[in-house]
Chain A
Amino acid sequence: MLAEQERREIEAELERYPRRDAASIDALRIVQRHRGWISDDSLREIAEFLQMSPDDLDSVATFYNLIYRRPVGRHVILLCNSVSCWIMGYAQLRQELHRRLGIGFGETTADGRFTLLPIVCLGACDHAPALMIDQDLHRDLSPDALDRVLEGYR
């Protein structure tokens, strides 16, 4: 069952569209904000609320890369791998993240603290290389600066 709060937030989105299923992406984002990721159960609950089939909703959920269909850690690191960051030292940053966290892309640290994912251009190309952690953008990074950045996320 969707929680009262989740339902209220989705209903506010429904007012912005002429059709219920049009709010599918907003609804997925809302539930993910509360639960961290979209489980099969979450998917069915949202689909029912929007009067869609779960399969239809899953085709949407799996298309958009910021919707997580598998559990993620407490913090999600999105490492930009697009061209300007690639030129400016993405590979070294990636290597250092793999080394420090002991995980590859798509994996979560054993303590559940971080999930590491690649992301397309973050629009911070004049301050490359860049990454995001949760809602925060971090720019002008070097492998040495990672300690300080990661420390802020427990």
Chain B
Amino acid sequence: MNGERPLTRDMKPDGEPLSLQEYERAGGYRAVRQALRMAPEAITRLVSDSGLRGRGGAGFPTGQKWSFVPLGAEAPHPKYLAANADEMEPGTFKDRWLLEGNPHQLLEGMMIAACAIEADVAYVFLRGEYTLAARRVERAIAEAYQAGYLGRHPFGADRGLELYLHVSAGRYMCGEETGLLNALEGKRANPRAKPPYPQVSGLFGKPTIVQNVETLACLPHIITHGAAWFHGLSRGVDAGSKLYGASGKVKRPGLWELPMGTPLGELLEEHAGGLRDGLKLRGLLPGGASTDFLTERHLDVAMDFTHVEKAGSRLGTGTIIVLDDRTCPVGMVWNLEEFFAQESCGWCTPCWSGLRWAERLLDGLERGQGSEADLDRLEWIVKFCAPGNTFCALAPGAVEPLGSALKYFREDFMAHIRERRCPWS
């Protein structure tokens, strides 16, 4: 662990974005020139060796994802790259930092990914509510075109790269890989059945890679400093630094770039300042709304993909949501399931039917109209929405906080049934 913060080191204290000149003065756009001199396979191998795993929530190895894209003279073109900047996972606000603070870093990461898969067209898929990020990314794209870093012969290269900003019009489903592709095609953001995988047949039926903003922002640094350096950033088994965040009733909610594998307790106590005075920790979601609750006994868990999974949850987006003892756990889970039920696209039955049913049951429990049989029904819905029963990860993710809440906060659910009211209201 070398304590470096490559993703946020060059950002300005006032939060203003780096201009192209400022980004270059800090060493920017050197890595892409280096990547242009490498064979695509060599870039993919380097990224595989670095151990980079996707920062959007699923943690899929980035190099492995790229390796399925057909290369060379026989490959179909145009090939596409999409930066997933549709940050809408409740409790997650990390990509906003990168988009607003250093948009050129994202663009350079996209250029490098485009080299690796020989992409011709790239889109930044940005959620509509990120209006400041939209202005800054748009400006950075214009600067990059003006400098000749995008367009027909970027940096004098043979292969061109067009890069556009697409501002979305809402819906959580747009952040799902294949939902995003449908949204970019101007359709409803329903998921697609896989196979075919997007790497082979994605946007407009052409090979496509969809990659989270933070993942892409890592790429210039991996190209510049190498795989071993990237491993050295981490304290855990997974490589790199990581953007972590905390929200809820902690003393200092915020965002920090820290070594991957920073223990949960250190994140909560040292960085977020612990809970506000007079409050006690009941539990937390380690990586956004669609991750299982962890509790006090998990505070020594290293916040990397491998260890959080061993603890029964997922690293997800790495932004923790803290539940204190003055907030009702049943109410919190109701709020989460209300979100997921609303955002279900309606494509498959376990999701549209199961999640709304769960939300109705939780609403009843919260109002003091629940019974023990409702808890059995909720347990059944958790199984009904398990991976494999649905087209995409929305419903399986949605029931992670529900299933774990039934396990860790059983007594609180029972109190609602016994007292026929919410004890917190």
Contacts and interface: CB of A to CB of B under 8 A. Distances in A.
Given A25-B186, A82-B91, A84-B90, A137 B132 contact: yes
A110 interface: no
Nearest to B173: A63
A83 B91 contact: yes
Given A83-B339, A128-B247, A123 B170 contact: no
B391 to A, nearest CB: 16
Interface string A127-149: 11000100111000000000000
Contact of B339 (A17, A18, A120): A120
Given A84-B248, A125-B93, A126-B253, A18 B204 contact: yes
Contacts of A25: 168-169, 183, 186
A53 to B, nearest CB: 13
A121 B323 CA distance: 17
Contact of B188 (A21, A28, A63): A63
B91 A125 contact: yes
Interface of B: 78, 87-93, 95-96, 123, 127-132, 162, 164, 166-172, 183-189, 204, 245-249, 253-255, 285, 289, 319, 321-324, 327, 331-332, 335-336, 339, 342-343, 345
Contacts of B164: 16
A82 B335 CA distance: 7
B248 A88 contact: yes
Contacts of A24: 186-187
A65 B189 CA distance: 12
Given A64-B169, A86-B335, A123 B184 contact: no
Interface string A41-82: 000000000000000000110011111000000000010011
A87 B186 contact: no
B276 to A, nearest CB: 11
B344 to A, nearest CB: 12
A23 to B, nearest CB: 6
Contacts of B92: 121, 123, 125
Contact of A22 (B78, B185, B248): B185
B339 A82 contact: yes
A125 to B, nearest CB: 4
A128 B162 CA distance: 37
Nearest to A61: B169
A82 B164 CA distance: 30
Contact of B249 (A16, A19, A29, A88): A88
Nearest to B205: A18
Interface of A: 16-19, 21-26, 28-29, 59-60, 63-67, 78, 81-84, 86-88, 119-128, 132, 135-137
Contact of A83 (B88, B90, B131): B90
Contacts of A18: 78, 204
Contacts of B168: 25, 64, 66
Contacts of A137: 129, 131-132
Contact of A120 (B88, B131, B169, B324): B88
B247 A63 contact: no
17 contacts: A19-B186, A59-B188, A64-B170, A64-B171, A65-B171, A66-B128, A81-B335, A81-B339, A87-B321, A87-B327, A88-B247, A120-B339, A123-B87, A123-B127, A124-B96, A135-B131, A136-B131
Nearest to B335: A86
Nearest to B245: A126
A126 B289 CA distance: 15
B72 to A, nearest CB: 22
Contact of A23 (B186, B289, B323): B186
Contacts of B254: 126
B321 A84 contact: yes
B95 to A, nearest CB: 8
B340 to A, nearest CB: 10
Contacts of B331: 86
Contacts of A126: 93, 245-247, 253-255
Nearest to B253: A126
A120 B172 contact: yes
B135 to A, nearest CB: 9
B96 A123 contact: yes
A123 B249 contact: no
Which 7 pairs across A and B sit closest by C-beta, in order of nearness?
A125-B247, A64-B169, A24-B186, A126-B253, A65-B170, A82-B90, A84-B247
Nearest to B324: A87
B321 A125 contact: yes
B249 A87 contact: yes
A120 B184 contact: no
Contacts of B93: 123-126
A82 B88 CA distance: 10
Nearest to A134: B131
Contacts of A88: 247-249
Nearest to B183: A25
B34 to A, nearest CB: 29
Nearest to B78: A18
